Structures are given as structure tokens and as C-alpha cells.
């Protein structure tokens, strides 16, 4: 299943995409986080300014609220542990993180951090809890002995964090200044850090491959990063801000939420154009999250099969503003005709070729501009030289007239005086 949120929740059967009735919320503010329990029978969500609430999804046709957590004030984020439905982690604006026991309805453990909490996530084995704080610090806690194992300073407020779904030590982080980072929490060192967005990073997620992480931002862009090669291998530019993202558990599909109320579905082997668009909400999509398990018998094969199964869905013809140049058409054919293992390599080669081509064009343009600048400077100096010569001529002329005037006014020399006879 896939859950999407704005100021309401909607549950989508996956992968056929059919939509169930929306679940109306008690207040009208936006949902800021969603988390599934291990068995996908329960869902916890938090609305801005509200309290964490747990829903029962055992019967999708009859979603029931079963518990509102009132023991913790000023909650900013709430998530289930990955391997149990009993423990919930809740971060607060008071710079604390509580591990809440849903069975006893009490706080089991309480951690204190350096600033208000902006994000939480457990690693795949629930051994570590990552806590993002508004002062740029990410703290790591061992959930067994409650000890803090380390801190990493991003130097910018982290807007989103997410552990890898398979690797125990990889944490992805996005920041308000556009920075994307991947941190090795065992060594507490950045494996990858780059500022690829020009606005806040709203979503980050890993693909099934260890080395690939995807980020989406308020700058209308989504980026595909190869952390092994330390490079962004693809950047898509849409016509509206992107608000959240998630990759399906089988790693085959990427879902991106938008601020216009729709979600875009891509195949992870083809980011050039979305497979389909679902107009699911009337306003900004604030969160998307796949359930933790996928039915193995289903598979998305084409946008035509999806459209046939749901009349509510519309095919995408021109959502992404991606350049329709020959390079990208060739790249698309390579995506279709080559295996997944070669995709990143081919994509990287084509992008490098594009960059080299653009660099050559820029070099030629700069050379033309420099030649023009040189001609301009030469002409200006010639003009200045001509003006200076004219002024010197004028000065000489004035000097000559002045000298002649002086000579005319002087009395004649003695030898030149006429002789007077007496």
C-alpha cells in the first residue's frame, strides 16, 4: 500500500494504484509525518500543531483511530520502530525524544538533544536512532543502552533524514539550504555531501542499490546521486515544487509528491518522464510513504495497464520540463534497451558528454567575447590617443600664440634702437 497526505490521508492499493476513500482528520492542518508499523496493520501520523495519532488499517474499508498520544507535548515528528509495532519514537520542539510504549501507554525512554527536533529515523535493525535538530546537528543514539554514539554537524538545519532500507550504517539527510548528505553513522563521517538544490530539500530516499540516493526540493528539481562515484548523475526539472518522495520496497518505482496535489510515479530505470500522474489531493502533498511489505505477485508494466485499471488516473504527456534533444532521446533508448546494471554508467557517460559539449560551446563564446573586448579596448585607447594628440596640438598652438604676444609687447633691443643725431 501507499499512503499520501496533505490535510487528509488517502490509502492507495499498490501497485495497481486504485484509491480508497480518504480518511478525514480531526483538524485541518497539514500532516507532517507518517509511519507504518512492522505488519502494516497500523499507521501513526502527526498533524502540524496536533498530537500523534495511531490508526488501525486491518480493514482498509473501515479505518479506525485507536489511540491519541497525549503524554507528550509539542510533538514535531513521530515514527514506529521498523521491527515492532509496540514502540514509537516522538521528537519535540522542547529538544527531547521519547520512546513511547503503545501497549502500556507510557514513556519508556527519554533522550535530550541540543535543539528542537526536525526529524527522526531508525536504522534497518532498530539498533540506532538518528535525531535531526534545528541547529544543524544530527545525534545518534544506541536504542539498547540509551547512549549517544556521536554527532554530526551539517551546518544547516536538516529538513529531512532517512536511513537506507538495507544498509545499517547509511543515513541520508537534506537541508534547508539545499545540501544533500549521506553519513556513515559508524564512522560519523560524510560519504557524500553536495549542495545540488537552490532551496529547501523536502524529501530524500535511497533506492534498492546501496550507492543511489534521490532528493527532491522546493526548487522544482529532483536529483539522483551516485554516492559511490561522488556525483549527481541526473537532475530533473519540473514546473512546480516537489514536496516529498519514497521508493517502493522492491526498488522499482519512485513516487514524488508535489505542491499542486498530485503524485508522480517513475520507474527507477527511467527518470526522463513519469510513468503516470495521480491527482490525489486538492492541495500540497506533504508526505508519501510505502508500506513495509509488497505483494510479490503484482508488477507495473506500462502506463496503459495502469490507466485501464483505474479510470481516475490520467496519463502523463508533458509533466516534466525535460529537454527533448537528441541526446536525451538517445539516452532514453539506452535506458530501455540495456540492463539495470548499465543504466548509471550509460547515464553518466551521456551527461559527461553533454557537459563537455557545453563546456566547449562556453569556451568558444568566451573566446569571441574576449576578442570583442580586446577590440573595444584597442579602439578606446586609439580614441584616447587621438584626443590627447589633439589636446597637445591645441596646447602647442596656445603656447605659440602666447609667446608671439609676449614678443610683440616687449621694447626693442638696444642695438635695434634708431640713432638720434644731435
Domain membership of residue 387 (yes or no) is yes
- The answer to whether 204 and 212 are in contact (CB under 8 A) is no
Res 378: pLDDT? 83
Domain membership of residue 417 (yes or no) is no
Provide the number of structural domains found in the chain.
2
**Residue 127 shares a structural domain with residue 259:** yes
**Per-residue model confidence as pLDDT tens digits over 200-210:** 999 999 998 77
Polymer length in residues for the chain:
422
Work out the percent of the chain whose per-residue pLDDT is above 90.
55
Dist CA 254 CA 270 (whole Å) = 10
For residue 9, pLDDT over 80 is answered with yes
For residue 2, pLDDT over 80 is answered with yes
**Per-residue model confidence as pLDDT tens digits over 272-327:** 889 989 898 999 999 999 998 644 544 444 443 333 333 344 433 333 444 444 44
Q: Which of 103-117, 357-371, 381-395 has the lowest mean pLDDT?
A: 357-371
Dist CA 35 CA 122 (whole Å) = 11
Question: What angle, 0 to 180 degrees and rounded to 10, lies between the N-to-C axes of helices 340-409 and 326-337?
Answer: 160
**Residue 227 shares a structural domain with residue 371:** no
Q: Which of 115-124, 144-153, 240-249, 313-322 has the lowest mean pLDDT?
A: 313-322
For residue 339, pLDDT over 50 is answered with no
**Residue 177 shares a structural domain with residue 98:** yes
Burial call 10-25: b when 16+ CB within 10 Å, e when fewer = bbbbbbebebbebbeb
**Residue 272 shares a structural domain with residue 394:** no
As a whole number, mean pLDDT of residues 249-269 equals 93
How far from 165 is each of 179, 210, 226, 338, CA to CA, in Å? 21, 9, 16, 26
- 3-class DSSP state of 292: coil
**Residue 24 shares a structural domain with residue 46:** yes
Query: How confident is the prediction for the chain on average, in pLDDT?
Result: 83
**Residue 384 shares a structural domain with residue 348:** yes
Dist CA 165 CA 122 (whole Å) = 10
Dist CA 55 CA 34 (whole Å) = 11
The set of residues, in sequence order, having a beta carbon less than 8 Å from that of 122 and lying 6+ positions away, is: 79, 81, 82, 89, 128, 129, 130, 143, 163
**Residue 306 shares a structural domain with residue 369:** no
Q: Which of 76-90, 193-207, 253-267, 310-324 has the lowest mean pLDDT?
A: 310-324
C-alpha closest to that of 343 among 215, 221, 174, 209: 209
For residue 335, pLDDT over 90 is answered with no
Phi and psi (nearest 5°) for 3? Answer: -110, 135
Res 422: pLDDT? 47
More confident residue, 395 or 417: 395
Res 16: pLDDT? 64
Res 1: pLDDT? 87
For residue 4, pLDDT over 80 is answered with yes
Domain membership of residue 391 (yes or no) is yes
For residue 39, pLDDT over 80 is answered with yes
Q: Which of 124-128, 250-254, 267-271, 388-392 has the lowest mean pLDDT?
A: 388-392
**Residue 238 shares a structural domain with residue 360:** no
Res 318: pLDDT? 39
As a whole number, mean pLDDT of residues 331-347 equals 56
- The answer to whether 13 and 45 are in contact (CB under 8 A) is no
**Residue 331 shares a structural domain with residue 278:** no
Give the domain extent around 354: 323-407
Domain membership of residue 141 (yes or no) is yes
Three-state helix/strand/coil letters over 93-116: CCCEEEEEECCCCEEEEEEECCCC
pLDDT band, very low/low/confident/very high, at 256 (cuts 50, 70, 90): very high
- 3-class DSSP state of 140: strand
How far from 287 is each of 40, 187, 290, CA to CA, in Å? 17, 31, 10
More confident residue, 392 or 241: 241
The set of residues, in sequence order, having a beta carbon less than 8 Å from that of 156 and lying 6+ positions away, is: 136, 175, 176, 177, 179
**Residue 270 shares a structural domain with residue 330:** no
Amino acid at each position: 500500500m501507499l499512503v499520501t497526505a496533505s490535510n487528509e490521508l488517502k490509502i492507495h492499493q499498490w501497485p495497481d494504484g486504485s484509491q480508497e476513500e480518504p480518511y478525514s482528520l480531526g483538524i485541518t492542518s497539514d500532516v507532517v509525518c507518517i509511519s507504518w508499523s512492522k505488519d502494516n496493520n497500523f499507521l501513526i501520523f502527526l498533524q502540524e500543531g496536533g498530537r500523534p495519532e495511531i490508526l488501525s488499517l486491518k480493514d482498509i474499508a473501515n479505518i479506525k483511530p485507536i489511540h491519541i498520544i497525549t503524554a507528550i507535548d509539542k510533538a514535531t515528528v513521530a515514527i514506529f520502530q521498523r521491527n515492532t509495532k509496540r514502540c514509537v519514537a516522538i521528537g519535540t520542539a522542547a529538544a527531547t525524544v521519547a520512546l513511547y510504549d503503545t501497549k502500556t501507554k507510557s514513556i519508556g525512554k527519554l533522550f535530550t538533544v541540543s535543539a528542537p527536533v526536525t526529524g527522526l529515523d531508525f536504522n534497518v535493525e532498530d539498533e540506532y536512532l538518528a535525531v535531526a535538530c534545528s541547529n544543524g546537528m544530527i545525534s545518534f543514539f544506541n536504542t539498547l543502552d540509551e547512549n549517544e554514539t556521536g554527532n554530526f554537524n551539517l551546518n544547516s538545519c536538516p529538513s529531512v533524514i532517512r536511513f537506507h532500507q538495507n544498509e545499517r550504517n547509511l543515513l541520508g539527510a537534506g537541508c534547508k539550504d539545499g545540501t544533500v548528505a549521506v553519513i556513515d553513522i559508524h564512522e560519523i563521517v560524510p560519504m557524500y555531501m553536495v549542495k545540488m538544490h537552490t532551496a529547501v530539500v523536502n524529501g530524500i530516499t535511497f533506492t534498492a542499490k546501496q550507492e543511489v540516493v534521490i532528493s527532491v526540493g522546493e526548487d522544482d528539481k529532483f536529483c539522483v546521486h551516485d554516492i559511490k562515484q561522488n556525483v549527481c548523475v541526473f537532475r530533473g526539472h519540473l514546473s512546480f515544487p516537489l514536496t516529498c518522495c519514497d521508493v517502493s520496497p522492491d526498488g522499482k518505482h519512485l513516487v514524488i509528491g508535489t505542491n499542486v496535489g498530485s503524485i508522480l510515479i517513475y520507474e527507477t530505470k527511467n527518470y526522463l518522464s513519469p510513468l503516470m500522474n495521480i491527482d490525489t489531493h486538492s492541495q500540497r502533498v506533504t508526505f508519501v510513504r510505502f508500506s513495509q511489505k509488497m505483494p510479490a505477485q503484482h508488477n507495473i508494466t506500462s502506463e496503459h495497464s495502469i490507466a485501464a485499471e483505474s479510470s481516475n488516473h490520467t496519463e502523463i504527456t508533458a509533466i516534466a520540463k525535460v529537454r527533448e534533444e537528441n541526446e536525451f532521446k538517445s539516452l532514453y533508448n539506452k535506458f530501455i534497451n540495456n540492463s539495470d546494471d548499465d543504466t548509471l554508467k550509460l547515464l553518466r557517460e551521456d551527461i559527461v558528454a553533454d557537459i563537455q559539449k557545453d563546456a566547449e560551446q562556453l569556451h568558444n563564446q568566451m573566446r569571441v567575447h574576449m576578442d570583442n573586448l580586446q577590440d573595444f579596448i584597442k579602439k578606446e585607447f586609439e580614441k584616447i590617443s587621438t584626443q590627447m594628440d589633439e589636446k597637445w596640438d591645441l596646447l602647442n598652438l596656445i603656447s605659440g600664440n602666447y609667446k608671439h604676444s609676449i614678443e610683440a609687447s616687449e621694447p626693442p633691443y638696444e642695438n635695434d634702437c634708431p640713432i638720434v643725431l644731435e
